[in-house]
Amino acid sequence: MAVCEDCWQVLPGHADAVAEGRLGAGRHAEAASLLASASKRFPTDPHVQLLAAESLLADQKNAPAALEALAAVTVPEGSRPLRRLKANLQADGHEAAGEPNQAIAVLEAEHKAFPDARFQTRIDKLKNASRP
């Protein structure tokens, strides 16, 4: 699918809204294609890179590729929302790959840097789920 030039005018700032519009219309493959194209077009934009990795995980069900993409994303140190998003996506990827201990490690590291009750809740759920 070729991405229209109008779409590039709103990207990268609104990549999520454009993709969500396509997802809402049931056009999952188109949304995934848009985010993959955006990822190539904006390789240094961490938000676009995180959205593309999320698409690999959610739309394409490809946890190894999503984790690889996430490992390559550098989030600005002061951007707590992007750090939180990256940590959650990494944890999602590890869960999808059957690696709950790695998911816990990612969440614990982020929780240590920026305490967040939602991280602790998720950590507790993962630990309880992995017990026999």
- Position 36 scores a pLDDT of 81
Q: CA 66 from chain center: how many Å?
A: 8
pLDDT at 112: 94
Omega before 12 within 30 of 0, i.e. cis: yes
Which H or E element spans position 52? helix 46-58
CA dist 52 and 30 (Å) reads 12
Q: Reply yes or no on whether the pLDDT at 15 is more than 80.
A: no
Residues of the chain with pLDDT > 70: what percent? 78
pTM value is: 0.80
Residue 11, pLDDT above cutoff 80: no
Query: Is pLDDT above 80 for 67?
Result: yes
Quick one: how far is CA 129 from the chain centroid? 23
Q: What is the pLDDT of residues 37-53, one digit of tens each?
A: 878 888 898 988 998 89
Write the single-letter amino acid at 26: G
Quick one: pLDDT at residue 8?
Answer: 46
